[in-house]
Amino acid sequence: MAQLFDSVRYLRGVGEARAKTFASMGITTLYDLLSYFPRAYEDRSRLVPVAELQVDEPACFRAFVTSTPRTHHIRKGLDLTKLSVADETARLNLTFFNQSYVADNLEYGREYYFYGTLSGDYMGYGMTNPIFEAVEKPGVLTRRIMPIYSLTAGMTNGLMTRSIAQAMDACLADLPELLPRELRERYGLCDAVTAYRNIHAPASFEALDLARHRLVFEEFFIFSIGLSLLRSRRSRQGSRPFTDLDLEPFLRALPFTLTGAQQRAISEISADLSSGRVMNRMVQGDVGSGKTAVAAAAVYLAVKNGRQAALMAPTEILAEQHARSLEKLMTPLGIRTTLLTGSMTAAQKKVARKALQDHAVDFIIGTHALISEATDFSDLGLVIADEQHRFGVAQRAALAEKGKDPHVLVMSATPIPRTLALILYGDLDISVIDELPPGRQSIDTFLVGEDKRARVNAFIRKQAAEGHQCYVVCPAIEEGEDESLRSAEVWAETLQSAVFPDLRVALVHGKMKSTDKDEVMRAFAAGDYDVLVATTVIEVGVDVPNATLMVVENADRFGLSQLHQLRGRVGRGGAKSYCILFSSNRSPETRKRLQALCKTNDGFEISREDLALRGPGDFFGTRQHGLPAFKVGNLAMDLHTLQNAQAAAADFLQSEDLPKRPEYAPLMDRIRALFQE
Ligand code: ADP
Ligand code: MG
């Protein structure tokens, strides 16, 4: 019998290749597999008489095969297998494309369960490629509520479902119970085994609700406890208060006057720095709200109080950009500033690191090269993480460990409602910059379909003719399974050779070597290209003031907040800027979601909309906040459960003895694993 932590290789039908596919989805053990929850469900439990099937509505029905299946070879690569089926209410023609094995598996005169979607027009009704199972066989694909899993290339929903069914048979009973009985009874939660069984193979929609409720509670409960632990750990830390809080020279050196919101954020920071407690603050502000100036003020104070400061950026380009502008500001103020990135030569890095150690440098700007072993500070007093959603809690902590309880400031361009921020970033205090510097123009945004392709191309050409530049963002890198997705590689090639042979088109994507990526970006920034075809690698921080047009392909594939970030790449210079969202998705929800972007340029409003319309999903995924992502919990839908879980967590933490009891040991282990104590 297999154990919970055995490899998925144990499963029938899973060899080396499939194990690799599973691994690429983060699944190596049977436990991982059981913890991979469906993203949706299809109701195949209700049987519909053939006469009552509705066009475009997938449904399950039971019918006899009433003709021998016949396969017709239409042309190379196209075989059609046709047959008819019937129940006592009606007859129906079925067609299978390139599935000639169907002829062997569907027998004249026998009865099967089918699941498919009726199509029909004036020529008559029919069904293409339905799923089927013999009535004597147990229902795996029909007669049930079917789980739908997120998949990757090489993985099918059927394989996933079968593998999980096997894993459940093998070791569901060994599942650790993270919520002891007394807690489950108090909050009306089912046990772990029942929850896992019904999340994967729900006996009914009621059973599914119960399973989900328990798992959401568990997730929020663990999250709340983990956050409280993080919080309590920091509040114990004292810190030598900064005494020199005079910002006058800094303000005089700034090339602009701070906005009220920037001033507020800076006063909050200064209060932290002089409090005698370690600062743990997040500055949230929309793209372009001027977070860098706020960070710079903090750096100024740290250095004036004799300490060193470090600013960590997620990409080399961003680090270099910051170094360029901040060095200009800091040097006249007597602050010695330097850069440290992975692509510098070993000798250059050594010089920078030596200077840090000797305190010959006050302020260092860099990439994660800053957290490498080799980097040592003389007296690190302040660490700043820019675009924090690109860093995890662990990376932030690693940088902070370079000093003796340094103050921590994180900058985020993903504004979220304050109430949620308090929950999600519970280990941080929050300053909000809710005001843009004066004179910012809004970026006109349009949602268009393929019928506008020629006009958009003409518009790109017009921008280029005026000496401006354009981004074209695609959801995929290479041509993949899903043909409806525009691939950056293919599209760059098409644009260059067929659409804009006279313009200079460049390509940048996440699979390129980072030095190649940076080179393309630098060349684009220098004006060497007119059009940059890219994936979302350009989402963060790139500052090319001459770029005036952002075109997003398959815009429905992106989250609203992400689109807003992408849009923030234009409108950074004086010229009028535009954003064009291509989408052929007709679903009303999708259109409503994308229209929200056309209506407003306010990041806070957009994130509220994002949250209300699609739930947290990626929005609160690991990428966005560096904390464990919610797999089942949805902060928009499950607020009530969240409140219960928070109350339960508070009770739990107040009790001296509960965390020490053996029945809570699996829970404590999980919390420690997630929050990396
Ligand atoms: P973000 O919040 O996206 O990091 P930045 O700090 O990069 O924004 O600022 C965007 C631009 O706005 C920069 O060019 C910066 O110099 C400018 N800026 C910032 N604050 C002000 C201000 N108070 N008045 C005018 N311009 C400002
Ligand atoms: Mg910034």
Instruction: Output the CA 285–ligand 2 centroid distance in Å.
Output: 9
Instruction: Output the CA 171–ligand 2 centroid distance in Å.
Output: 48
3-state secondary structure 264-277: HHHHHHHHHHCCCE
419 pLDDT higher than 80: no
CB-ligand 1 contact for 569 (6 Å cutoff): no
Average pLDDT of the chain is: 88
Tell me the C-alpha to C-alpha distance, in Å, between residue 570 and each of 470, 548, 602. 9, 5, 15
In the chain, pLDDT over 90 holds for what percent of residues? 57
Among 150-154, 288-292, 304-308, 649-653, name the most confident range: 304-308
619 pLDDT higher than 50: no
For residue 412, give the 3-state DSSP assignment.
strand
622 pLDDT higher than 60: no
347 pLDDT higher than 50: yes
417 pLDDT higher than 70: no
Instruction: Output the CA 288–ligand 2 centroid distance in Å.
Output: 7
For residue 40, give the 3-state DSSP assignment.
strand
29 DSSP β-pair partners: 7
Task: Grade residue 375 by pLDDT with cuts at 50, 70 and 90.
Answer: confident
528 pLDDT higher than 60: yes
Task: Grade residue 118 by pLDDT with cuts at 50, 70 and 90.
Answer: very high
- Between 310 and 586, residue with greater pLDDT: 310
pLDDT at 481: 66
Q: Which residues contact 384 (CB under 8 A, 6 or more apart)?
A: 295, 298, 299, 309, 310, 311, 312, 408, 409, 410, 411
Q: Which helix (H) or strand (E) holds 80?
A: strand 78-86
**CB 488, CB 507: distance < 8 Å:** yes
336 DSSP β-pair partners: none
> How far apart are alpha carbons 152 and 25 in whole angstroms?
7
Closest ligand, as measured to the CA of 326: 1
Q: What is the mean pLDDT of residues 105-128?
A: 90
Instruction: Output the CA 571–ligand 2 centroid distance in Å.
Output: 14
Instruction: Output the CA 197–ligand 1 centroid distance in Å.
Output: 52
Residues 287-313: b if buried by 16+ CB within 10 A, e if exposed? bbbbbbbbbbbbbbbbbbbebbbbbbb
Give the phi and the psi of residue 385 in degrees, each rounded to 5: -110, 120
The neighbour count for residue 319, using CB atoms within 10 Å, is 27
> Which residue in 155, 438, 453 sits closest to 288, CA to CA?
438
Task: Grade residue 538 by pLDDT with cuts at 50, 70 and 90.
Answer: confident
CB-ligand 1 contact for 437 (6 Å cutoff): yes
605 pLDDT higher than 70: yes
The neighbour count for residue 184, using CB atoms within 10 Å, is 18
> How far apart are alpha carbons 246 and 259 in whole angstroms?
18
Q: What is the mean pLDDT of residues 76-89?
A: 93
Q: What is the mean pLDDT of residues 649-663?
A: 88
Instruction: Output the CA 374–ligand 1 centroid distance in Å.
Output: 33
320 pLDDT higher than 90: no
Instruction: Output the CA 341–ligand 2 centroid distance in Å.
Output: 18
Task: Grade residue 632 by pLDDT with cuts at 50, 70 and 90.
Answer: confident
488 pLDDT higher than 50: yes
CB-ligand 1 contact for 262 (6 Å cutoff): yes
pLDDT at 615: 47
Closest ligand, as measured to the CA of 440: 1
Q: What is the mean pLDDT of residues 287-309?
A: 95
Query: Ligand 1 pocket test: which of 289, 318, 412 has the largest number of ligand atoms within 8 Å of its C-beta?
Result: 289
Instruction: Output the CA 284–ligand 2 centroid distance in Å.
Output: 10
Give the phi and the psi of residue 117 in degrees, each rounded to 5: -120, 125
CB-ligand 1 contact for 163 (6 Å cutoff): no
Task: For residue 126, count CB atoms less than 10 angstroms from its CB and return exposed for 0-12, middle for 13-18, buried for 19 or more.
Answer: middle
Task: Grade residue 423 by pLDDT with cuts at 50, 70 and 90.
Answer: low
- Dihedral, CA atoms, 619, 620, 626, 630, nearest 10 degrees? -140
Closest-lying ligand 1 atom to the alpha carbon of residue 291: 2
Q: What is the mean pLDDT of residues 327-356?
A: 94
- Between 391 and 329, residue with greater pLDDT: 329
pLDDT at 616: 43
Q: Which of 447-461, 523-537, 610-624, 628-642 has the lowest mean pLDDT?
A: 610-624
pLDDT at 590: 84
The residue whose CA is least distant from atom 4 of ligand 1 is: 291
- Between 117 and 427, residue with greater pLDDT: 117
Determine how β-strand 58-65 pairs with β-strand 111-121: antiparallel
> How far apart are alpha carbons 101 and 103 in whole angstroms?
5
Q: What is the mean pLDDT of residues 380-394?
A: 79
First and final C-alpha spacing in the chain: 34
- Between 226 and 548, residue with greater pLDDT: 548
Fill in the amino acid letter for 519. Answer: E
For residue 435, give the 3-state DSSP assignment.
coil
617 pLDDT higher than 50: no
> How far apart are alpha carbons 403 and 406 in whole angstroms?
6
The residue whose CA is least distant from atom 17 of ligand 1 is: 290
DSSP string, 274-308: TTTB--EEEEEE-TTS-HHHHHHHHHHHHHHTT-E
pLDDT at 339: 95
Q: Which of 186-200, 319-333, 554-568 has the lowest mean pLDDT?
A: 554-568
Task: Grade residue 636 by pLDDT with cuts at 50, 70 and 90.
Answer: low
Closest ligand, as measured to the CA of 437: 1
